[in-house]
Amino acid sequence: MKEAYQGSCLCAAVSYLLLTPPKAVSHCHCSQCRKSHGAAFASYGSVPRNSLRILRGASNIKAYASSPTVMREFCTECGSSLFWSRSQGEFADWVSIALGTLDTPFLPRKQKHLHLECAAPWHAPSAPTLTPG
């Protein structure tokens, strides 16, 4: 049996299944990804669009065109960023999954940081600091 990965939004109104492991794992530092996630960067992995199954809550997914060729999708109940995809071009048949929404453990083989020239000035990647509590 192939690997399958389940995911959901914060409120669990939307749940989905990936029929293949995410590929092209990236951590994007562009301003649109930072604003979409409310974080220093957004972590995504991509799958062919036909490998994504919405199990529950399709009517709770809203799409937003953040640029002429990019659609971002989020939960209308809790606001969780779920997916982004290109509406045209080379990768229009792929969808990128917000990896923070995965419920199934996933360890990428490779990953990369993108658009570091746009990185938030208040975030300096360093060794993790453990805080009690």
27-86 pLDDT, tens digit per residue, is: 988 888 888 888 989 999 999 999 999 999 999 999 999 999 999 999 999 999 999 999
Decide which of 72 and 131 is more confident: 72
Asked if residue 70 lies in contact with residue 58, where contact means CB atoms within 8 angstroms, the answer is no
Residue 28, class by beta-carbon neighbours within 10 Å (0-12 exposed, 13-18 middle, 19+ buried)? buried
Residue 125's pLDDT band (boundaries 50, 70, 90)?
low
Domain parsing of the chain, residue ranges: 5-118
Whether residue 95 is predicted with pLDDT greater than 80 in this model: the reply is yes
pLDDT at 127 over 80: no
Q: What is the pLDDT of residue 126?
A: 59
Structure tokens at 55: 């199990």
- CATH 2.170.150.70 is held by the domain 5-118: yes
Structure tokens at 126: 């360093």
| pLDDT band, very low/low/confident/very high, at 1 (cuts 50, 70, 90) | very low
**Averaged over 87-112, what is the pLDDT?**
92
